[in-house]
Structure 1
Amino acid sequence: MSFESVDERTQGLIEDDYYTLLNLDRNATPEEIRDAYKKASRIYHPDKHTDPVLKKQAEILFTKTKKAYEVLIDPHKRAIYDALGVKGLETEGWELVQRTKTPYEIREEFERLERERQERRLQQRANPRGNITIGINATDLFESYDDEYEEDDYIEEGGFSFPNLEISSMEIDQSLDAPLTTKDTLSLTGNLQNKNGIGGGAFATSLRHVSSPTSWSEYQFTAGHGPLFGIKWFRYLTKRSFCTITGLCHYKSGELTPGIEVVLYRHLDKNLEGFVTWKFGLESCVNTTVVWKNSKHAVISRIQFGIPNTFISMSYTRNLPFNDTKIKCGIKGGFFGAIVEYGWETRISQHSIAGTTMSIGTTSGVSCKLRLKRANQTYTFSILLSEIIIPSPIFYGTLVPIAAYFCAKSIVIDPYNEAEKEKELRKAKQENAVELIVRKREAEAAIALMSETYYRNVNSEKAKSGLIIEKAIYGSIKTISIILENPSEESSPSQLDGIHDVTIPTQCLVQNSNLILHSASKSNLPGFYDPCFGEDKGLLIRYKFKNDDHLIVINDDEKLKIPSQNHNVRSNF
């Protein structure tokens, strides 16, 4: 179950990281949260400053710090924040929700609340969806015929002939959702199909009415191949289970045929779901489906008993950690024989997904299915390569789509995506322009407020030959690399683009001759801001410990603990 859970107007906007703001690990204990808040309060509390300008700046930063503390110290708010970020805290309705404990349960509640919010908001626009499926018979590519007459004709025509490829079928589905009220939605669906020269079509309309947060009903009518009337009812039985009941009545050739379908769903465990489907009338069968899935793997097993569709199947999907890529394989066996399938799909742009599936069946032969999904439109090309199982169509059907994808990726897809990334970055910079200016001013104000703490910290560390931050620079990793190659540039980093001097705030984070920065973007640390939005960032720290010089450069989201003997400049040369 997935949907767009973030309002389009807030996508790409910068959010505060409450953990980083207090320099805390995400597993911080309540005691650590209180200590971090107390330390920040000693710097930002308005009563600590008498200068009117500094006092006003302190009020802003103290309010921000206090908000982070109040969220993290409250287990319920913290669970919401951990699962959903700031946007989850801003969702209406949490006060009516039982105080669940796990992020998983919080996310479930958020999805339900978000659906209700979207219904109340009611986007006054249609939601078109479409599918175009084309069947292609390409058996002439791999299956040769030993007919003597055809061979003579082939020779007389010059010894060369193009293989015969024919479009054997085509199907077009298009649907449209039209919200009428906050509780009623009208759907219109059209279908056209043609197979082996015989065509047909159907038109369907349905009205869905949401009667409560836990139930809805739908009334259906279909014209084409005889009128069909249906009523569908959905209801949550518990937080982990629901039921749908569909009643159908089909009139064709003077006969009235009723039908019924019942689906029961149960969330069995954290990663386990189960479905039981019973159909009678228009189609009679019993189907049991069990789904096990997590962030990386998914296994679906299904058993169905019916006439003539009795089968058992199992499929496995592996999510790879790049470009939303998935690899799939499965096997299905029944009265029709056995079918083995394998394939992959990957995201080729923000709104487009491409994939291919090879199917090898004892009675269906060898076929390759190419699919392109663009927004809400799906284009499918089902290519029959051979009516019998032979190696060549399996080999070429597997490798050719992969080779074609990588060629298209290097020539078309990657250049297009790079251009889109640049476009999105420019858009994000425009959307966040004001916020970036505000954060820069807050960082400068925080540094001004830290001056007293900074000098006290430095004097304390000098007295025991402890940890002294001589220079800390945050920002563009490219600029930091230039500074490392030309140390003279380090003396005037303000003249370089995309970096920010964070020596003072970094020293203020030192406690008992130790500095720990956690695995998160450093741009949310007190006194830090993002000076090169959209670029790769890093942090350079040159420090003294026990009067020895040390130097370290880390990536923006890398964890850091100093001092360390590995950073000693003398031992590295």
Structure 2
Amino acid sequence: MDDDGDQDNVIEEDFYTFLNVPRNATAEEINNAYRRQSRLYHPDKHVDPVLKREAETLFTRTKKAYEVLSDAHQRAIYDSLGTRGLETEGWEIVQRAKTPQEIREEYERLAREREERRLQQRTNPKGNVTVNINATDIFSRYDDEYDDISDRIFPTIEVSGMSFSQSIEAPLTLRDTVTMSGQLGTQNGTGTGSVNVSARRLISSKGWLELDVGAGNGPMLSLKGFRTLTKRLFCNGATILQFTAHGIRPGLVGTLAMQLDKHAVGYLTYRAGIQSAMSTMIVRDTSMSHTSFTMQFGMVHSYISLSYTYKMEERQLKLRGCVKAGTFGAFLEYGAEKKVSQHSSLSASVSVGVPTGVILKIKLSRASQTYSFPIHLCEEVVPAPVFYATVVPLITWTVIKKLIIDPVVREQKERDKEKQKELNKTRMLEKQREAKSAIDLMKATFSRIRSEEEAKRGLVITKALYGRFVYPQERAPRDDDNGPRDEVIDVTIPLQCLVKDSKLVLHNASKSQLPGFYDPCVGEDKQLLLQYLFHAQTHECIIKDAEPLRIPKQSHRVNTT
């Protein structure tokens, strides 16, 4: 089991929500919240021995939250790193006068010391498998007078080529990394292979140097480097020496890049020697799209290309289009990429061009491994293969999604929920007991605040339920509803105790951390249902767990006519 992943699933304390203050709360707001909550939980306020013990626990938690948020040093650590940052070994050496940025840098230094002990156990494996498939016989039978195709029932589909590549990293220190990679491929019966070893050293935060040694079609030696010149300007370059049977072939590659604006970068690249060419590229990347425009002028190959990707983050889908024309021909490519799980994505694209014809490209990316399947459908551009290359992947995806992916994803979500519940089982039992204790301690305050609000016809909470409802989100359940409720808790008393001057304010955070609350359905989407009186008029609303709330509100008023 991954300890880091388990730690991410464990519920952390939210001091801001526990005190019911916003994350940008001022010192005065924190002090007021602390004084208000202390009056509820101070042990001296309770005579009953059982309530006194419960009050001690909650008062300790209240005091801890106040101590962290009222101390600029600890608050900066907590804001940046959470409670784990407060518990990190070595914080005793940090000066209390440091700024938040210096605090984070100090934490990163301590983290690096732990990281150095784990470097030798880490690699970053990357792999790529490509299988080229020739399926042109489906749409255009090969007419050979020596081959009797009349006897063949099915078209011939064959693997015309395959290639494999793999690389691993071996970190030596925080500045030095060795990468080993290899490639093996075959195309139409001809095989090639190469092996490469590179050593990279981080010179400073602005640049690095890398030495590559390889063997394939003769030995190869190269020296690469990267350097940040200004805030918006950076460059990289490489010198290459390739040793062949006909002598040494030198090469030089240099790229100058400039940040044009917040989302756009321009590149100017010059190649000399092995493949002489000059190219310019402009890349614009935003949260909604990715655009790339390239022009290249070379001794062997010149071209111009434009590609555009539309990102649909909410659906985890990307739509892509590309057009390219040059001395070797032209093509149009369109396709889509869908994220099918946390670490996997599937993409399909259709390439239509001259002289390549029609090619369907299927690619599966799983973590750091990529599997590509270019399927050559036709050597000429004709409507039939274009149509089938577009429609068949859509139909296949729909069937696979319904029959395989959706059930697997649902099962994985259920396993994750169960794992999260198991990891937090002890914690949740403690939170449940703590919430019950808090409500017991609130009862006297609840009665007082409610009586005061009723006397002035102010804000009176008549019903408050928190958890997961079986009702549709757009309709709040009424008192006369007899439908079942699933995993909800009554939080009427805790919310009434938060009413001040006939107002209730909840901030944009999970309500499960509020005093008197706990999470009744870990891993599920939760809601807060409120029914309240204001000026003796009935109001009701239902909000999502992390949604902020300010009541009373005119739009919540229920029309009883």
What's the TM-score bracket when you normalise by the shorter of the two chains? 0.7 to 0.9
Residues 297/7 of structure 1: CA separation in 2 closer, same or farther (3 Å cut): farther
The alignment status of 1:44 with 2:38, answered yes or no, reads: yes
2:432 partner SS: helix
User: Does the Cα contact within 8 Å between 1:22 and 1:37 map onto a contact in 2?
Assistant: no
Residues 226/445 of structure 1: CA separation in 2 closer, same or farther (3 Å cut): same
Residues 196/427 of structure 1: CA separation in 2 closer, same or farther (3 Å cut): same
Higher mean C-alpha deviation, range 135-144 or range 10-19? 10-19
Residues 518/169 of structure 1: CA separation in 2 closer, same or farther (3 Å cut): same
User: Does the Cα contact within 8 Å between 1:477 and 1:536 map onto a contact in 2?
Assistant: no
Q: Distance in 2 between matches of 1:458 and 1:24?
A: 22
Deviations 1:399-434 (CA, angstroms, capped at 9, x unpaired): 111111111011111111111111111222222234
1:61 partner SS: helix
Residues 330/521 of structure 1: CA separation in 2 closer, same or farther (3 Å cut): same
Q: TM-score, normalised by structure 1?
A: 0.83
Q: Distance in 2 between matches of 1:524 and 1:115?
A: 32
Residues 456/277 of structure 1: CA separation in 2 closer, same or farther (3 Å cut): farther
Q: Distance in 1 between matches of 2:532 and 2:348?
A: 55
Cα offset for 1:192?
0.9
Tell me the residue number matched to 1:172. 164
Q: Distance in 2 between matches of 1:274 and 1:113?
A: 37
Tell me the residue number matched to 1:478. 470
Q: Distance in 2 between matches of 1:148 and 1:186?
A: 53
Give the alignment partner of residue 364 of structure 1, picking from 343, 356, 359.
356
Give 1:61's aligned amino acid: T
Give the alignment partner of residue 381 of structure 1, picking from 373, 379, 391.
373
Higher mean C-alpha deviation, range 414-423 or range 430-439? 430-439
Tell me the residue number matched to 1:126. 123
Residues 161/303 of structure 1: CA separation in 2 closer, same or farther (3 Å cut): same
Tell me the residue number matched to 1:508. 497
Cα offset for 1:547?
2.4
Give the alignment partner of residue 523 of structure 1, picking from 512, 522, 525.
512
Identity of aligned residues (%): 39
Deviations 1:35-70 (CA, angstroms, capped at 9, x unpaired): 365134321379954155324521322322453465
The alignment status of 1:63 with 2:55, answered yes or no, reads: no
User: Does the Cα contact within 8 Å between 2:30 and 2:69 map onto a contact in 1?
Assistant: no
Cα offset for 1:526?
3.4
Give 1:281's aligned amino acid: G
User: Does the Cα contact within 8 Å between 1:46 and 1:55 map onto a contact in 2?
Assistant: no
Q: Distance in 2 between matches of 1:97 and 1:294?
A: 35
- Report the RMSD for the aligned CA atoms in angstroms: 4.0
Residues 442/316 of structure 1: CA separation in 2 closer, same or farther (3 Å cut): farther
Aligned length: 547
Tell me the residue number matched to 2:136. 139
Cα offset for 1:550?
3.5
Higher mean C-alpha deviation, range 530-539 or range 319-328? 319-328
Q: Distance in 2 between matches of 1:34 and 1:8?
A: 37
2:275 partner SS: coil
1:478 partner SS: coil
Give 1:62's aligned amino acid: K
How do 1:20-35 and structure 2 match up within 5 A? 20-23=17-20, 34-35=28-29
Cα offset for 1:131?
0.6
User: Does the Cα contact within 8 Å between 2:40 and 2:442 map onto a contact in 1?
Assistant: no
Tell me the residue number matched to 1:225. 217
Tell me the residue number matched to 2:544. 555
The alignment status of 1:196 with 2:188, answered yes or no, reads: yes
1:11 partner SS: helix
User: Does the Cα contact within 8 Å between 1:46 and 1:59 map onto a contact in 2?
Assistant: no
The alignment status of 1:313 with 2:315, answered yes or no, reads: no
User: Does the Cα contact within 8 Å between 2:41 and 2:58 map onto a contact in 1?
Assistant: no
User: Does the Cα contact within 8 Å between 1:45 and 1:62 map onto a contact in 2?
Assistant: no
Tell me the residue number matched to 1:538. 527
Cα offset for 1:174?
1.3
Q: Distance in 1 between matches of 2:460 and 2:13?
A: 29
Tell me the residue number matched to 2:240. 248
Q: TM-score, normalised by structure 2?
A: 0.84
Tell me the residue number matched to 2:10. 13
User: Does the Cα contact within 8 Å between 1:174 and 1:190 map onto a contact in 2?
Assistant: yes
2:229 partner SS: strand
User: Does the Cα contact within 8 Å between 1:45 and 1:58 map onto a contact in 2?
Assistant: no
2:500 partner SS: coil
Q: Distance in 2 between matches of 1:16 and 1:264?
A: 47
User: Does the Cα contact within 8 Å between 2:281 and 2:293 map onto a contact in 1?
Assistant: yes
User: Does the Cα contact within 8 Å between 2:165 and 2:183 map onto a contact in 1?
Assistant: yes
Residues 336/197 of structure 1: CA separation in 2 closer, same or farther (3 Å cut): same
Deviations 1:56-86 (CA, angstroms, capped at 9, x unpaired): 5213223224534657998x779x65xx877
Residues 109/396 of structure 1: CA separation in 2 closer, same or farther (3 Å cut): farther
1:308 partner SS: coil
User: Does the Cα contact within 8 Å between 1:61 and 1:442 map onto a contact in 2?
Assistant: no
User: Does the Cα contact within 8 Å between 1:46 and 1:62 map onto a contact in 2?
Assistant: no
Q: Distance in 2 between matches of 1:271 and 1:72?
A: 35
Tell me the residue number matched to 2:49. none
Deviations 1:230-257 (CA, angstroms, capped at 9, x unpaired): 1222334345554323221110013111
User: Does the Cα contact within 8 Å between 2:34 and 2:62 map onto a contact in 1?
Assistant: no
How do 1:41-440 and structure 2 match up within 5 A? 41-44=35-38, 49-50=43-44, 51=46, 53=53, 54-68=55-69, 81=80, 121-122=118-119, 124-144=121-141, 153=148, 157=151, 161-238=153-230, 240-440=232-432
Residues 543/429 of structure 1: CA separation in 2 closer, same or farther (3 Å cut): same
